[in-house]
Amino acid sequence: MLKVVICCDVDHDILGYNIAATRFDVYKEKLGWKSIENISRINETCNLVQDYKSNSAKVTWFVRSDEQLKIIFDDYAYPLRSFSNLWKKLEQQGDEIAWHPHLWRWSKKNQCWYQEISDSEWINRCLESGYREFIKITQNVSSVRMGWGFHNNFTMKKMNDLGLKVDLSATPGLERSGSPDERGSHFLNSYDWSLTPEQPYHPSQQDYRRPSEKNERSLEILVIPVTTAPKKRTKILTEKALRLTPLRLRKNWLKNTDIKSKHIQHSYIANITDTHFRHIAEQKLKQAQQNPGSLTKFVTVFHPIELFKPKGFCILKNNLETLTELSKKLMVPLEFSTATQLKNEICS
């Protein structure tokens, strides 16, 4: 049995996807949400495929509620409240609405939005307020995915103490120290899951990245990692070579590719809008085939804005069909699940 969870991080529009968007060095200019217009069509595409129980593909929608939105829109839960009819419709058909807090903070010194990772007092206020406003609208929230997939011991314990039941921020084997961004931020995209296993776990209070060891206490929240897989050696070597080339040439070569030059990762995330999706899907189905008596999970993640890429919806449709076709070919039952449904089955 292969359980498939499709996660979607509903973020504001950003530059780089063929649509107008606000830079990260602009303070109170309204953020765009044009990518939310893609969600209805994403839902239609998901309804084109069925699992072995004849259910269409479910999505767990992670919607923002955080300090940046309060500053810009005077509403922590702006996208949840402004598009409430959409979320109600999706929830009624079996999807899950979950929380996606970002730690965007304005730097007066650098005049830009950046990822706050060290000021625990500010982080605590951002998360508490964002969660409080979120549950005023959607009271049954139990799942969370942090912005940038970031966590530390403080934020993981905070999620636990707020009463969240399952966290899907982890990406096993991946880490980044954070860096400036050409769209105007002096620091973002910091995370560390270098020690994290593929299997779900209750995190140690001493290290959020792993289960507790002897004499360590665990948190009650369940971490379900996003599926990752090793990159092909040729791609890693190509990325290393690109780092040695002049910046002007590097930008020309990187145009229209998915290679990131600043940070070389030896693994990649299962993204259902990615052209490399078939490889990782086949790996997970074969794993399930080899373990017929156990539950194998496959957790994918994407953003609505990614559907603005050339042939974005075509790729999504092909990848969903790939899952169901490979399931039949390998004779492995496949079931679509929400994050909370998978957590309940793991913990039952």
271-295 residue pLDDT tens: 999 999 999 999 999 999 999 889 9
CB atoms within 10 A of CB 284: 24
Q: How far apart are CA 145 and CA 60, in angstroms?
A: 10
203 and 219 Cβ atoms separated by less than 8 Å: yes
Which residues lie across from 336 on neighbouring strands? Answer: 4
* pTM summary value: 0.91
30 and 71 Cβ atoms separated by less than 8 Å: no
Residues 6+ apart with CB under 8 A from 279: 229
3-state SS class at 295: coil
11 and 64 Cβ atoms separated by less than 8 Å: yes
Look at the domain 2-229+269-347 and name its fold: TIM Barrel (3.20.20)
3-state SS class at 156: helix
Q: Which portions of the chain are predicted below pLDDT 50? A: 233-234, 236-237, 239-240, 256, 258-263
State residue 139's pLDDT score: 83
Ordered by start, the domain boundaries in the chain are: 2-229+269-347, 232-265
State residue 348's pLDDT score: 87
What is the per-residue burial (b if ≥16 Cβ within 10 Å, else e) of 32-47?
ebebbebbeebbebbe
